[in-house]
Structure 1
């Protein structure tokens, strides 16, 4: 076996080891917190069953909270429903699966990025010529940073409102978090409209540069060359 073949074999084994490390980290990030969530859900189900046995009318009130219609002399939309539980149902979903799975996803991505950084490191230029080539126009860069800035603000305000009770209330206190939320919520709501407009403009302007081409398959096959040291073609902006 030649030195080149031995080097290529080591590179392939290293690539597989790095890939499996990232996969295991991502799977662990998702499954470990999910196991805790499932355990909590099982405990809550047992507690609810015990409560039902102690309170024979719990089923009746559960149906009422579920939107069971009754009779009323007042004429109007849904006036015969004693308790409107739609908001409560969404709040339970938001504070339960959405918050839990969202945290798992965010932490999983952060761990994957850190794992890639510490195992692969940053990209390094092999040779600098000193020449600069204009790749993106001024308008393109303005659009990019316009949307990037709004995205960062929306991400901070959105995540702080989603996980604020668990993370920020112990730090800021209830009054401090209430004051922050009163500011963050309208900022998040209004800036989302401007972000949507900017996103539409970017999609329309860059669409022709992001159409799938034959070299994109090769780029995906090599994962952009991030692990095997190759430089697959990517076009101007690979799809």
Structure 2
């Protein structure tokens, strides 16, 4: 009996030792489980700010899209795009367009009349048409100048007038830009409606394209209607497409409550608005050149609404014939 008792006691000790060994073998796995990424260790304050920097949304009493996001990490990427490629390529496009215009003027010079003026005037634009044109032009110029100041002001004007002067100038420019935006949109829509019927495709436009509008040859008069293909291209690509695009994106930036105004959407709208504006400004330089220095007598038509018969015959012969025959509605 004594031998059996001693054997049982020894077996019990063996079982206890085995249990202790198994428990000790589980300690490393328990330590790994304690460092599970799902339950990050360390200072909770450090963990909190790490999530803030990563843009992890939290709880907020402020209403609005993304109000729970304290720091927008993508904002730095947007700033690099705006201050890098956008400014660099935007400046290159505008300077290249100016260079082309100067070179064209030096090589070709202004397109002058081949015959002397007759002194007989024909109405080309009504007072209302000139009001719509100048309203669009003036607001566009103000929007363009203030927009360029916002985009390039720190690089171009900052060294000249200092940070204090630049801040005041940009503050005023931003107000003008934002408040004139809806006015420019209204004038643009009105301009499209007023001149739409005279900017449709006509058979004579193919001849204008084939001969590049006579811009590279002296005395080459290509028959055209009230507007030639070059003017129609400006109307459709510049005024209608880019004009409405720039004015439309600007309106959404002016009134963000109209859309789901997430940070990413607003940042993309700013970039798209600026890209469209640079392209529109580049095209407008060509239009302004042709209306002032490029074509003799062109500016006079928009200032007074009248042109000489010689000018009408040489630049818009088909429209001149319709006007003389009484078939034009713009008399």
Q: TM-score range by the shorter chain?
A: 0.5 to 0.7
Helix, strand or coil at the partner of 2:222? coil
Structure 1, residues 117-158: CA drift from partner, whole Å, max 9, x if none? 000001111221111111111111111111111111111111
- How many residues are aligned here? 177
- Hey, what does 1:97 align to over in structure 2? 85
Q: Could you list the runs of 5+ residues in structure 1 that have no partner in the other structure?
A: 1-60
Structure 1, residues 80-123: CA drift from partner, whole Å, max 9, x if none? 64521344333222211111111011001100100110000011
Larger radius of gyration: 2
1:234 and 2:209 correspond: no
CA distance in 2, matches of 1:236, 1:64: 61
Change (3 A) 1:79 1:155: closer
CA distance in 2, matches of 1:193, 1:179: 23
1:185 and 2:184 correspond: no
1:125 and 2:113 correspond: yes
Match of 1:161 among 150, 155, 158: 150
1:112 and 2:69 correspond: no
CA distance in 2, matches of 1:156, 1:96: 20
Change (3 A) 1:164 1:79: closer
- Hey, what does 1:58 align to over in structure 2? none
- Hey, what does 1:83 align to over in structure 2? 71
CA distance in 2, matches of 1:182, 1:208: 41
**Aligned-pair distance for 1:219?**
0.8
1:206 and 2:203 correspond: no
- Hey, what does 1:143 align to over in structure 2? 132
Taking structure 1 as the reference length, the TM-score comes to 0.67
